[in-house]
Structure 1
Amino acid sequence: MSPGLVALCLLLMQTGVSGFDIELDSEFIKDFVSSFLFSKATNQKHEDITQRAILNTTLQACRALALAGGKDFSFPPQPFTAESVAAACQASKSSKRFHQTIKLIQRKNRLVDSSHASDPEYHFDNEKFAEGRRVITEGLAIVKASNKEMNFEAAREKLGEISHPLQDFYSHSNWVEMENTLPNTNLIRSGTSIGNIAALSRATCRNCDGDDCTNNILEDILLEKILTSGYFSLSKSKPDGKCSHGGFFDRSKKVEPKGGINKDKMKSEHGHLHMAAANMAVAATSELLEDIRGAAGDKTFLQMMGISSKALCFVIDTTGSMSDDIATVRTVTSSLINSKVGTEDEPSVYILVPFSDPGFGPLMRTTDPNIFKNAINSLSAAGGGDAPELSLSGLQLALTGAPPNSEIFLFTDAAAKDSHLKSTVTALIERTKTVVNFMITGGLGFRRRRQIGDNQQQQQQSRLATSDAQLYRDLAQTSGGQSIEVTKSELPEAVSIVTESSSSSLVTLLQAARSPGKAENFTFTVDESVKNLTVYITGSSVTFTLISPSGVSQQSTDTTGALITASQTVGNFKNLKLKTEVGLWEVKMVSTNPYTLKVVGESSIDFLFDFLEASRGPFGGLEVIDNRPRAGVNGSLLLTVTGSTSATVTEVILVESSGSGNVNGSVRAVGGGDFLVQFNRVPSEEFVVLVKGQNSDGSSRSSGTFQRQSSSSIQASTVTVTVADTNRVLAPGETFSVPFSVETSGAGGTFTIRATNDRGFTSTFPSSLVLDTGGSANGTVNLTAPVTTTSGTDVTLTIEAESPGGADTNYLVMRLTVLKTVTDFTEPLCELLSLQSNCTEDCSLSSWKLSVQVTDGANGTGIDRVSLRQGNGTMNTSLAAGNENVTLVSYTASCCSPDVELLVVDGVGNVGSCSYSVRQTPTNSSQTPTNSSQAPPQTPTAAPVGSLSTKAVQSFLLCLGITILGLNLPFEMGIN
């Protein structure tokens, strides 16, 4: 194949089948081929394969949306990064969320090697082809159902899990050895043939010739296209005559026929085909993503991928005394939405959770700002008798329904009646790293109370009011939010924080809380990327002095000055706009009362982090933990810088929230913007993560120094809660069991157990477990989803364990999916009813029209959506008279747009597409008609319905497949 053709094929991998209308120059092709062929010269892991496929498919979705909106689209230079893809998608402020999505999918992919190490179907080992395909297709149904309900976190987790076996198929089977040039599409299709699978009694391999395993698969197996895969065993056993997986951990490779056939690494037994398996795995993962994209639609797919701005989430008390507060929220909401629509900060999703007593919810979630406005406008304040309300129940629902790293605003004038949920809400805040702001009006503890003449009772109520306020302050501090306490008349002024916090690129430079208050000096660094520098202070009788990098100072008593460009004081809240100056700032705080200090700004540079611990799987290594790290012992975290490809981390510090001490970490770059940080001790006190580094984009060392801090606080623990890996899928009406284990490295005793879920599903669990010192105990949560639960509903189960006396707690947060049994695996069908045209040479003066009947078969789930995949005409759909299972589609377009492709999705996400075209019959140039009325007749054509993902991938692989066995694109699939 010529270099030019190689370049064209590789370009098609990035641009898709419609990429020919992009104007290219020779330098672009030269750079593209160079970066694509030589940027990956070493082994590549599952994570790399997954990321390449995600970046490619995300660009396709962004391009399709741009072109549909009449906008130009340019592909970023190779190699693609999360930052460059987000920028190409006109969503630079989403790069952190995009990074976070990719990391989650990669992590769930990687975890399969430890959580399913002994399950051959998760790796297509031991010729478990039907079982492996079932893992993929059942998981794919969950992804599609979750996306339909906008439960994107559940969809991401399952996508990561099923992409692992899909990728393993090409490394562990002989698909590549059989010289196949396309992925096995039927791996993501139920009820189809995967291929001719070797019988258990049929030999498939011979001994390797010493260390040379290149020819150990039997010739008749390859010639007859018999599908086999290597057997993997930690003991020396396998069926007679069968191939082994091979590699370090597989002991069956010592049993004849000796050797292995895996292509996991370049040095594996079949490492000579390592790069071919890599290309095939990328193509197969892209095919999977295209199928998910087709089922969801481009906008929903991009939301699932994190190419979206921040969510706008309100949790609102709707009891009688809240009418003024609700009116204020209406005004703020309308103003905020109107100012953000059409901008990069337009919220990607709007969430509303009302609460009162005795009810709360339901959660309303929409991407339509007008629907959200109507929902806010329809709220009415009514009811209530006693003061406390179910505020934490509403907040729990919002925390599980909002995307991670969201910001939630809770409006109330009452205490929490469900204060027992504090630890659950704290766990969800830590797990989701969500910021919660409390907007509190009217004086806690006294609304709607009867007049009490007894002075002693009145004093007791005052003390209760103080404790009620402290609960909200504690939760705000843990999340990195504010607890703003104002009168009802002051609320309109205070909610300005909602508008300011709606920026998608808001970062935290410094955050501290002191209770009791004390005089203390704080410093923070402002880099060149920071704009709109703002300081938030909550507390009463707080004074401060600001000192800029140039040495200029300003007192809190100065309402005007060189540093503060605007200030606002309302209730216990101060909002200061600072003149943005690069360098080291200082804030001197003085107060004997509790206070919080937070410094934020807008910047593209931020970070993600997860704590790690030794894997409990058979292969060792480190794994991300989903709960609190272990207290008082050494620890590690994985940190990713987002928004910059040139930033380097120099310091990572665990800063104790009380200000009593810091723990410095040892930082090591591990590539791809990731840094491994190790600490000799994880504080037992609550702490935050402080990151300092250098960004080489700065014009000088000073301007290149940056500082960022985690918003939410972390609390370590000596208690650990773990759960065995389970299917995590509930059938409506059936009881689902979740076995869990509680372990302590400290003192034993009776530990309190709490298990809550955000859907209110019926559950049973042990209220306590007895642990010996340094011991463990087991329990089970039984959860039942109502029969009427919608398929695709997710339920967040939080299991907590509290040590005797309540001094220490830890938790586990699980996301489960409710799914009805899927029986429809057939793609929808299109039937052409008519295609008419009056097209002439002058296409602008003529048009054509199409009529199509779309059905999902007698046993199908019905047509859910018909959309245009290609075409600039007008499409309308309607149900056929007397038959709701038939959808009629009409399409009209100018003859200048002669092609159309309809995308058809049924009720469970099966995707098909049908293409039609009206083209002019070719004529000899010497016989060109003299006027349009003499133009030759048109020849309409139609293509049958087909799989969207298959067509897209096969179109570019028909070209690429010629050399797919020779491209030097290695990868490392995994050890099993």
Structure 2
Amino acid sequence: MHLHTGLLTLCFGWAFAFYPNRECPDVGLSDLTDEDITRNAILTAVATFMEGNPLPGKPGFKPGELVDLVPLTPTSLFKAYFRADVSPNQFIQAIQNIVTGNDEVERLYAQQSDYHFHCEQITKSITLFQQYRDEIFTQIKVSKDKMDVNAYEKAQLKMGMALHILQKFYSNTNWVEMGKRTTYRHLVNASDPVFPIASSAIKTCKDCLPTESGSLNCSGNLLVDNLLTSGYKKLETCAAKPKGKCGHGGKYDETRLQSPTGGINKETANPELSPHSNLHDKAARLAENATVEFFIGPGFGFLDSLGPSVFRKFFNLQGYSLSFVIDTTSSMSDEINLVKTICINIIKKVMNSSDAPYNYVLVPFNDPSFGPAIVTHDVAYFQSQIGALTATGGDDCPEMSMNGLKLALANSEPRSNIFLFTDAGAKDVALLDEVMIQASSVETQIYPMLTGYCSASGDVVEDNEYMKLAKVTGQHYTRVQKGKLNSVLGITELALNSAPAVLVQVTERTKKLLFYVDETLRELSISVKKNNDVPFYFFLLTPGDTDKTRSRRKRAVTMDAKVSSLVNTTNYQVVKVQVTQPGQWAVEMSSLDTYTFEIAGKSLLDFSYKIMEEKNGYVLPIQGRPEKGAEYILSVAVEGDSGKLTLTRVIIFDETGKINKAYDVNKSTDSRGQLRVSVPVRFNLTSFTLGIAGKTESGSEFHRCKPHLIRTESISLKLSEGQKSTLTEGTSLNVLVIASNVGPDQTFTFNVKDELSLMRSFNPQSILIAQGQNVTLTATFEAPKPLSQQLSSLVTFTAKGGTSTNYLKSVITVVPEVKEIPDQDPPQYNITQLGDICKGKKKSVQVCKSHNWDLEFQAWDNISGVFVELGLPAAEIPPVYSLNCNDTIISGVSWASCQYSSDCCYPHVSLILTDATGNANLLDVDFRDSQKESWSSAPRIQSSVVLAVSLLSAIFY
């Protein structure tokens, strides 16, 4: 493995197949990566599903109407399907979780050849893939009615791991080289026929030819065109490249100069990296087609196996949840009826709009009880459940609000809106970090709405847990006097937006704020808040305006019908504005003071991001929160429906929304509708937000920012190098996690949770870590026994100190013990008669066609039937031949008695004998003699051999 000192490193050393993503500098413009293949396949599968499943009450689609969108992107697909501006953010999150799972294979299983179809581990790889698939399908079938957002996240991660194995078949085996132009269906559907595999006894490659430039020409280096093989590369599970076997190849393969030189990988279109680079596109397209089949293959794919409702849920196609977490303790008795009225009014306002939520979630909380969670699509039922709430109990002030939020997060769709109503602090405030991690990981927004506050000590805390929650999730913390909740009801309207886009979120001392509005925005919300109670008002200035559109304090009706007031209190005002003209706008305040501005709107022009790090020679998404001061790669992807977009800047904002660092870029949407850049970054702030700036096709400047706060931590958690994450039933596994502290000396408390309760112990539970030092957290997991099939558990490791908290998520997989040794014996054969009439000197075609040679043989297998087929290379003179076999069973053994006959213009044959599980033998007969002229000029498959009968053993699942 090569070591790197620069930030943007070459993706090599561990490179086994299609590269994970475009952040790897070795990836060329024409290369298709794991992420490209997975993303394109998911878009095709989902578009196909949407064509066949239009929204209730909406017209249907013609075949290809969605699949053939140009470009086909999440944004274009959602806009066409919903026939409205509906953000695909939840769908993008599902795709990203699957891609992350694909990446995790490179993090966890880089040294295991069966995850990559490496070193002719073809049968093991197929079995492994099918175990993953069966686990995912079975677990969802068994528990689909109980699965929460965390369970679906785990399923998406596991799906990505399975797809990694599936896709590697096409880059690392010789399927494409054999001329196959369709997918290997047996991979995704075990009932389809198997294909025979080259055994360890047969040579599969010859040396590649050196060129004048010093490189290798590997065209035609394969020696087999009727058996599966794959490339070898040194791994923990593959110590050396055997004699006569193909290598992986490419300049980062240390065995590439060992005979047979070169290799067969097709992972890129660069011949220096991929010896069969000319087949890269074909391999990638087949991998993409196979991934589509995995999802929507008729009768066996994910859709037909689990049904349309699970398919929608799995890909987050249904939209967001509208969730209410309501305090029902006796102190809320004066408020509960108003809260119920507010919630029901919100539901009525949104239920029939294009922005209607997918479902509704209600979680009441008290003390010490909380829940249960009520999740429904039935609006009438949901309203009745809200109406039935009463306020009682809860003797002391703080209540169980964090448990209520945890339950709501678990039952809400990703990227949802949760409204919290309470008049007290959280008794279970120790869960705050867990709630913030959970909310941040699914990008759900929490709106705390308080009519009072008290802590466990009875004191009012200024920077309380609800303020922290609102800040982390990028939303408003609202506190009003009892009985005044109606005055801030308009805040809820900000959440009911099917395509939310934030332009500005900043706190600063100013009298005038400038901002840009682009033509994709149809409406704006302008929110202004201040910490003191000094009355204020503001003017809204649009491009070219001479008159000022005013929004004044305590004014219910605005001067302009295009402006409506949503909130109007002493220190908080929100207006909604219809956009009539793009360009530079301004908010002019009535006086110089410190204000918090949030300017947002409805637009499909948005972005997503990934914070990435170097790992195993690749660039992969980080796990947990970034470490303060560490170097990362920030990848930004822009989504939009405004034609060709140009990204000009990637921006890091400090916690107040002021620019901390801006990176100048200049990149436009490509032919596939993608606009993505990556920049090297170092996060020196304790917390920050991200934003972008660019131009639309018409030249309008656009700005977007993500309102949720990203925290850096002094503590980091990483799996130990080479850590295993699979254990066999009845065994135990120690998982080592390295905790590193770059901050001040402090004591950290550790915790480990896994959903299947496989963890038996962990140590240490608490320890002092000095600055610059690290400790090893050891968690022991035990697999249950007996086990009928593979299962997995999502494990979360957390470390919490006085000033820093971080987490790490990983998947632990348990596999059943192999109780039966699979059939590994190939069919046997015995030649009973062989005619040698074709021996002699070369004759004319007319003469050689008038003479035939015969072969009679018996083949048998102790377990299953024997299948005999020809494996003939292309001939200049097509042979005239016949092959007939009679099958019989004698004493439980399957026998095939066969006769083969051919004219002497083709004096050689290769017969493949295969059993039901794919174990193969090769029977070769060749009368050509290099010392004499042969009967024909047909291409030779063996030289200097008068008669060759070779045994080929292989295992094929």
CA distance in 2, matches of 1:90, 1:817: 38
**Is the CA contact 1:127–1:228 (under 8 Å) kept in the aligned structure 2?**
yes
The match for 1:152 is 152
The letter of the residue matching 2:601 is G
CA distance in 2, matches of 1:377, 1:795: 39
The match for 1:773 is 771
Q: Mark the runs of 5 or more structure 1 residues left unpaired by the alignment.
A: 1-39, 450-459, 824-976
Deviations 1:912-937 (A, max 9, x none): xxxxxxxxxxxxxxxxxxxxxxxxxx
The letter of the residue matching 1:565 is S
SS of 1:472's partner is helix
**Is the CA contact 2:523–2:579 (under 8 Å) kept in the aligned structure 1?**
yes
Give the superposition deviation at 1:772: 4.5
Give the superposition deviation at 1:792: 12
The match for 1:888 is none
Q: 1:330 to 1:143 in 2, by over 3 A?
A: farther
Say whether 1:125 aligns with 2:118: yes
Of 500, 508, 516, the residue aligned with 1:525 is 516
Q: How does 1:795-810 map to 2 (within 5 A)?
A: 797-803=795-801, 806-810=802-806
**Is the CA contact 1:232–1:244 (under 8 Å) kept in the aligned structure 2?**
yes
Give the superposition deviation at 1:122: 1.2
The match for 1:164 is 164
Q: How does 1:247-266 map to 2 (within 5 A)?
A: 247-266=250-269
Give the superposition deviation at 1:322: 3.9
The match for 2:573 is 574
How many residue pairs get matched?
Answer: 751
CA distance in 2, matches of 1:338, 1:740: 49
Q: 1:757 to 1:576 in 2, by over 3 A?
A: farther
SS of 1:489's partner is coil
The letter of the residue matching 2:499 is S
The match for 2:500 is 506
Q: 1:104 to 1:757 in 2, by over 3 A?
A: closer
The letter of the residue matching 2:152 is F
Q: 1:47 to 1:495 in 2, by over 3 A?
A: same
Give the superposition deviation at 1:376: 3.9
The letter of the residue matching 1:278 is A
Measured on the aligned residues, the alpha-carbon RMSD in Å equals 4.1
Give the superposition deviation at 1:143: 3.5
CA distance in 1, matches of 2:480, 2:786: 43
The match for 2:737 is 740
CA distance in 2, matches of 1:783, 1:592: 60
Of 27, 47, 63, the residue aligned with 1:59 is 47
**Is the CA contact 1:490–1:571 (under 8 Å) kept in the aligned structure 2?**
no
SS of 1:203's partner is coil
Give the superposition deviation at 1:616: 2.2
The match for 2:288 is 282
Give the superposition deviation at 1:689: 1.6
Deviations 1:838-861 (A, max 9, x none): xxxxxxxxxxxxxxxxxxxxxxxx
Say whether 1:471 aligns with 2:458: no
Q: How does 1:722-741 map to 2 (within 5 A)?
A: 722-723=718-719, 738-741=735-738
The match for 1:714 is 710
The match for 2:477 is 483
CA distance in 2, matches of 1:815, 1:232: 26
Q: Mark the runs of 5 or more structure 2 residues left unpaired by the alignment.
A: 1-27, 211-215, 820-957
SS of 2:86's partner is helix
CA distance in 1, matches of 2:180, 2:775: 51
Q: How does 1:347-496 map to 2 (within 5 A)?
A: 347-369=357-379, 372-373=382-383, 375-377=385-387, 379-441=389-451, 443-445=452-454, 461=458, 464-467=459-462, 470-496=464-490
The match for 1:616 is 615
Give the superposition deviation at 1:734: 9.9
The match for 1:705 is 701
The match for 2:77 is 85
Sequence identity, in percent? 30
Give the superposition deviation at 1:284: 0.8
Say whether 1:300 aligns with 2:298: no
SS of 1:395's partner is helix
The letter of the residue matching 2:716 is T
CA distance in 2, matches of 1:792, 1:407: 35
**Is the CA contact 1:732–1:788 (under 8 Å) kept in the aligned structure 2?**
yes
**Is the CA contact 1:730–1:785 (under 8 Å) kept in the aligned structure 2?**
yes
Deviations 1:441-482 (A, max 9, x none): 2x2239xx9xxxxxxxxxx84xx1234x72211221222111
**Is the CA contact 2:551–2:565 (under 8 Å) kept in the aligned structure 1?**
no
The match for 1:883 is none
Q: 1:193 to 1:316 in 2, by over 3 A?
A: farther
Relative contact order, higher structure (CA 8 A, sep 6+): 1
CA distance in 2, matches of 1:737, 1:167: 30
CA distance in 1, matches of 2:318, 2:817: 31
The letter of the residue matching 2:256 is K
Q: 1:48 to 1:616 in 2, by over 3 A?
A: closer
Give the superposition deviation at 1:167: 1.1
Give the superposition deviation at 1:368: 5.0
Of 541, 546, 553, the residue aligned with 1:548 is 541
CA distance in 2, matches of 1:683, 1:525: 28
**Is the CA contact 1:358–1:390 (under 8 Å) kept in the aligned structure 2?**
yes
Say whether 1:112 aligns with 2:105: yes
Structure 1 length normalisation: TM-score? 0.69
SS of 1:196's partner is coil
Deviations 1:689-713 (A, max 9, x none): 23222111x4xx4xx2112111101
SS of 2:247's partner is coil
The match for 2:220 is 215
Quick check: which has more Rg, 1 or 2? Answer: 2
CA distance in 2, matches of 1:400, 1:662: 34
The letter of the residue matching 2:708 is S
The match for 1:497 is 491
Give the superposition deviation at 1:285: 0.8
The letter of the residue matching 2:114 is E
Q: 1:41 to 1:513 in 2, by over 3 A?
A: closer
Of 667, 673, 677, the residue aligned with 1:669 is 667
Deviations 1:848-882 (A, max 9, x none): xxxxxxxxxxxxxxxxxxxxxxxxxxxxxxxxxxx
CA distance in 2, matches of 1:720, 1:387: 36
CA distance in 1, matches of 2:40, 2:285: 10
Give the superposition deviation at 1:561: 4.9
Q: How does 1:591-602 map to 2 (within 5 A)?
A: 596-602=596-602
SS of 1:66's partner is coil
Give the superposition deviation at 1:337: 4.3
CA distance in 2, matches of 1:738, 1:390: 33
Higher relative helix content:
1
CA distance in 2, matches of 1:659, 1:682: 15
Say whether 1:631 aligns with 2:628: yes
The letter of the residue matching 2:522 is K
CA distance in 2, matches of 1:373, 1:404: 23
Say whether 1:319 aligns with 2:317: no
The letter of the residue matching 1:158 is K
Range with greater deviation from structure 2 (554-563 or 262-271):
554-563
